[in-house]
Amino acid sequence: MWLLSGSKLHIIAISFFVYIFVNFFENIIHYNIGRFSNKEIRLTLPTKKDFIKIVLVMSLFALIQGLLTSYFMRQ
């Protein structure tokens, strides 16, 4: 199966972790913009409940990006 080959799995994993790393900071900024939209923007960490939601959504889209990257980088 194309998904389980070694090089494809590396591409999926690398793409997944790069997406998580880069978008984590972006999502924290967006969280704070939404939370403090009528005030001066401060950078605070989300509540535990919000943090779990952010991580779950990020993980889903990171997996989708990894799969699409692997699919379109057929070698």
CB 16 within 8 A of CB 62: yes
| Number of domains into which the chain is organized | 1
Whether the CA torsion 17, 18, 20, 21 is positive or negative: it is: positive
Q: What is the pTM of this model?
A: 0.73
* Mean pLDDT over the full length of the chain: 84
Q: Between 5 and 52, whose confidence is greater?
A: 52
**Residue ranges making up the domain that contains 66:** 2-72
